[in-house]
């Protein structure tokens, strides 16, 4: 079988993400899918920034589990936008568009 490349290539997970997902290596596509499965299962979406969880919407509410992962995130995108979640608190939200930065910050480079 050919070695997987790009988004399907397994990457090493940092400890908080590894303990949440019960895996030490996964492709980025699987990491994102498993995070969304968790968010949906725990109804952690809301339509308004820092709103109460309501199981729909473009914002993701940080529970204790997600907070440990979100707080690892401090990265600058190729366009120069900084995503710094290091001082985030439980119950605060991120925009779903920040999930790529969160995944990127929680894998070993």
Q: Per residue in 11-22, pLDDT tens?
A: 999 999 999 999
CA–CA dist 71, 68 (Å, integer)? 6
Domains of the chain in start order, with CATH, are 12-105 (1.10.245.10)
pLDDT in tens, 48-89: 999 988 888 999 999 999 999 999 999 888 889 899 999 999
Quote the pLDDT of residue 1: 57
Nearest-5° angle of CA 99, CA 8, CA 70? 20
**Residue 4 predicted with pLDDT over 80:** no
pLDDT > 70? residue 2: no
* Phi, psi for residue 76 in degrees, rounded to 5: -110, 130
């Amino acid at each position: 079988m050919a070695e997987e490349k790009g988004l399907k290539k397994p990457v090493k997970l940092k400890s908080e993400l590894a303990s949440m997902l019960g895996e030490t290596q996964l492709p980025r596509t699987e990491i994102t899918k498993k995070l969304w499965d968790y968010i949906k299962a725990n109804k952690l979406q809301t339509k308004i920034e820092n709103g109460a969880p309501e199981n729909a919407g473009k914002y993701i509410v940080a529970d204790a589990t997600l907070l440990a992962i979100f707080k690892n995130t401090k990265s600058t995108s190729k366009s120069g936008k900084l995503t710094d979640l290091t001082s985030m608190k439980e119950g605060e939200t991120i925009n779903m568009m920040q999930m790529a930065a969160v995944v990127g910050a929680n894998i070993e480079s």
